[in-house]
Amino acid sequence: MTTKIPTRLYLSEDEIPKYWYNLRADMKNKPDPLLHPGTLKPATVTDLEPVFCKEPVKQELDDTTRFIPIPEGIQEFYRAYRPAPLIRAYFLEKALGTPAEIYYKFEGTNTSGSHKLNSAGPQAFYAKEDGLTSVTTETGAGQWGTAMAMATGFYGLGLTVYMVKVSSEQKVFRKALIETYGAQLIPSPSNTTESGKAILAKDPNTGGSLGCAISEAVEKAVKTEKCRYVLGSVLNHVLLHQSIIGQEAKAAMDKYGIKPDIIIGCAGGGSNLGGLIGPFMGEKLAGKSKARFIAVEPASCPTFTRGRYAYDFGDTAKTTPLIKMMTLGSGFIPSANHAGGLRYHGMNSTLSKLYKDGFLEARAEVQTDVFDAAIKFMKVEGILPAPESSHAIKAAIDEALECKKTGEKKVILFGLSGTGYFDLSAYMEYNNKTMSDYIPSDEDLERGFASIPDIPQNRG
Ligand SMILES: *Cc1c(COP(=O)(O)O)cnc(C)c1O
């Protein structure tokens, strides 16, 4: 007798995992270390502590501790909005006529609307523990800024958010939400920092960029008493915090004896994907699973599928430590795209290493195909997905249709990283058929690659 799997695979509050999982501990071939951009030596605690909080720095440099206990003060924060639902997509399966089983982990039920709150909480908690009074950060599309505003509101810390100027003008409701939670929002570039002033002097009408906002936020943190900088993706401590996604998904699936064959996530800097796949990838590295893992990125910003594996900067001003990663070059400027959270030139170093070593697959999708998939999904499953998350939906549907051809009954798990409530202008464009699918030419990419630093480590 087989019991029917419920539509929602519940975990009780007590079953929320109490440990983060550090995938690097189980990798035989570790990702290459961060490098200090001046000395080109591996970055140390002393290099990173002027910018970041203490515990995140330790976590960033730790590639041996497998399970890291989640402090009670963070477990408390998680209980306010977790566990996140794990849903069996019965309706989507039926609509596709596929023999595959499809599951998705939905991270969009909290007010910030995405998985980013999973790392915003811990980062605010650690800032408070360090005795700081405020933190700074940047935000592009606004999801990370909103998550940080919620987290600093919860823990009672000040927050300055440098928001890419064009986004702050387009995403007025994001801006309003960030300010309502009590954060100070500054459109970037601004005249509150030297790096902002320098950019404005060159180009007073610029709409700003994520790289420029990062430079401003870092400068402000370093120059302010009892203040540090927090970052929402790319770094390994962020992936560690996001492992709560995979830990929960695995705990719920284990309860029902379900083993996913294919695990899919969208990839911007890699945090939701890395968090979801972590514990499942750990089993694969240990030879206990044959699961496949797929990263899905926008064709307009094809970091995995067309990028280079090299040491590169995380920001356009070239101030961050050097990260060995798949990259399009910090000077690459992706065309406007509705998946704002996926417009980043680089990729987390752990995921980049797994990709290079053949454990992780990647594919790139154009946005009209992604929105087609989103519409198919929302009509039957009821949830309005974020454009970023819809990249994962597209690949999940394609894999399910492949099963329909072959008759295989595979188990597919994908990450639905957020809701699309703040992205309705993108859906309007889709409805009006004014959405375009820009794919960068090889020449466009070459211009980005030219910005990758010419250091011995990059000369093969
Ligand atoms: C920011 C964001 C992403 C991309 O960031 P990752 O670090 O790659 O996860 C994906 N989905 C949503 C909803 C986001 O807000």
Q: Is the beta carbon of 270 within 6 A of some atom in ligand 1? A: yes
Summarised one tens digit per residue, pLDDT across range 186-218 is 999 999 999 999 989 998 998 888 878 998 999
**pLDDT of the residue at 206:** 86
* Atom 14 in ligand 1: residue holding the nearest Cα: 341
Indicate which atom in ligand 1 lies nearest the CA of residue 272.
9
- For 369-415, the DSSP string reads HHHHHHHHHHHHH---B-HHHHHHHHHHHHHHHHHHHHT---EEEEE
Decide: pTM greater than 0.95. Answer: yes
Q: Is the beta carbon of 267 within 6 A of some atom in ligand 1? A: yes
Segment 347-357 shows an average pLDDT of 98
- If you measure from the C-alpha of residue 267 to the centroid of ligand 1, how many angstroms do you get, rounded to a whole number? 7
Q: Is residue 165 scored above 70 in pLDDT?
A: yes
**pLDDT of the residue at 315:** 85
Q: Is the beta carbon of 388 within 6 A of some atom in ligand 1? A: yes
Indicate which atom in ligand 1 lies nearest the CA of residue 389.
11
* Tokens, residue 379: 């009509």
Neighbouring residues of 459: CB distance < 8 A, sequence distance ≥ 6: none
State which of 114, 348, 394 you would mutate to test the pocket of ligand 1, scoring each by most atoms of that ligand within 8 A of its C-beta.
114
What share of the chain in percent tops pLDDT 90? 89
Indicate which atom in ligand 1 lies nearest the CA of residue 388.
11
Summarised one tens digit per residue, pLDDT across range 282-319 is 999 999 999 999 999 999 999 999 999 999 999 878 88
Segment 419-427 shows an average pLDDT of 94
**pLDDT of the residue at 196:** 93
Helix (H) or strand (E) holding 72: helix 72-79
Neighbouring residues of 120: CB distance < 8 A, sequence distance ≥ 6: 112, 144, 147, 148, 150, 151, 230, 232
Least confidently predicted of 139-143, 302-306, 442-446? 139-143
Q: Is the beta carbon of 346 within 6 A of some atom in ligand 1? A: no
Q: Is the beta carbon of 417 within 6 A of some atom in ligand 1? A: yes
Q: What does the alpha-carbon distance between residue 275 and residue 65 come to, in Å, rounded to a whole number? A: 16
**pLDDT of the residue at 3:** 67
The gap from C-alpha 335 to its chain's centroid, in whole angstroms, comes to 19
Summarised one tens digit per residue, pLDDT across range 68-120 is 999 999 999 999 999 999 999 999 999 999 999 999 999 999 999 999 999 99
Cα→Cα distances 180→137, 150, 171, 427, Å: 17, 9, 14, 25
* E-strand stretches of 86-199: 86-88, 101-106, 134-139, 158-164, 184-188
- If you measure from the C-alpha of residue 118 to the centroid of ligand 1, how many angstroms do you get, rounded to a whole number? 12
Q: What does the alpha-carbon distance between residue 165 and residue 192 come to, in Å, rounded to a whole number? A: 14
CA angle 333, 274, 246 (to 5 degrees): 145
Segment 404-418 shows an average pLDDT of 98
**pLDDT of the residue at 2:** 53
Q: Is the beta carbon of 116 within 6 A of some atom in ligand 1? A: yes
Q: Is residue 58 scored above 80 in pLDDT?
A: yes
Which residue(s) pair with 87 in the sheet? Answer: 8, 104
**pLDDT of the residue at 1:** 42
Q: What does the alpha-carbon distance between residue 355 and residue 302 come to, in Å, rounded to a whole number? A: 14
Q: What does the alpha-carbon distance between residue 84 and residue 199 come to, in Å, rounded to a whole number? A: 41
Q: Is the beta carbon of 34 within 6 A of some atom in ligand 1? A: no
- If you measure from the C-alpha of residue 335 to the centroid of ligand 1, how many angstroms do you get, rounded to a whole number? 17
Across all residues in the chain, what is the average pLDDT? Answer: 95
